[in-house]
Amino acid sequence: MEESMISRCKEYLELEERDPAGYSPLVLAYIGDAVYELVIRTKIVNRGNTQVNKMHRAAAGLVKAQAQAQMYMLLEEGLTEEERAVYRRGRNAKSATMAKNATMRDYRMATGFEALMGWLYLSGRLDRMAELVSLGLKKMGENR
């Protein structure tokens, strides 16, 4: 799946080869936010048909800054040094905005987590991204 999705996007969308390390941490967080939400929504949809409003609430509970910060803390010890460095770059990035329902600490941690997700995605490391999200959901008691 990894190879086909990324390679097909590159082929059909005529994308240039770019080193993910060359992107700013906020750009990594931008794409990471979308990719992480897609993974969470996929997990929720896989549970079966239900009202869309219920699915939205379930997804929102897992993609909010507080939940992302919690997931990072649960995963931190199992990350590689390279992954931690990407997270720190994202966490320390100066953003002009802040989530309206999050503490500054949670917001910055979530930005770091999203940067890590974006970096893994752009690096073609979808297996590692899925592994981390799965492990985080299990540790949060959400992997049902």
**pLDDT 10s digits, 2-44:** 456 777 888 888 888 888 889 999 999 999 999 999 999 999 9
| Residue 144 pLDDT | 63
Residue with more model confidence, 132 or 141:
132
CA distances from 54 to 30, 44, 58, 128, 137 (A): 25, 10, 6, 29, 18
CA 59 to chain centre: 13
| Residue 1 pLDDT | 44
Question: Is pTM beyond 0.75 here?
Answer: yes
Residue type, 10: K
| Residue 67 pLDDT | 95
Query: pLDDT averaged over the chain?
Result: 90
Is 106 part of the annotated catalytic residue set? no
CA nearest to 38, candidates 17, 21, 62? 62
